[in-house]
Amino acid sequence: MDTSKRKAIFRRRFAKVVDALGYKFNPDEEMVDFLLEQEVLIERKHGSPFCPCQAITGDREKDMQNCCPCIPFHRKHFDYMKQCWCGLFIHKDVTDPTQLRQIPASEVPD
């Protein structure tokens, strides 16, 4: 399957999943398109659309926790940032994602 078709499938599939989790796609179309393309390439190489912004460790169980959309595995962290680690998805209530920033998980209060 060509990259554009696979990206479109990811887009439709991911939209449904993240909607139920209270997230939406980042409105920055260029960034979204770039990240989805990376995920298609990663899936081709590694068999699953692992996160383009996090290292693949080779430990399948660990890596599956960073398979997109990985929000359920990092809920507290991402809810605190109001975005996923890559910024591909943001909280539905965010209107200006340029104000968001990555915050290390270690800095998220208990």
Contacting positions for ligand SF4 (CB under 6 A): 35, 51, 53, 66, 68-71, 84-86, 88-89
Q: Is 39 helix (H, G, I), strand (E, B) or coil?
A: helix
Q: Least distance from C-beta 7 to ligand SF4, angstroms?
A: 13
Q: Which of residues 81 and 99 has its CB atom nearest to ligand SF4 in the complex? A: 81
What the block records as the tokens of 22 is 């209270």
CB of 67 to ligand SF4, least distance (A): 7
HSE-up (13 A, CA, CB side) for residue 96: 2
- To the nearest whole angstrom, how small is the minimum distance from the Cβ of residue 93 to ligand SF4? 18
Give the containing element (helix H, strand E) for 25. Answer: strand 23-25
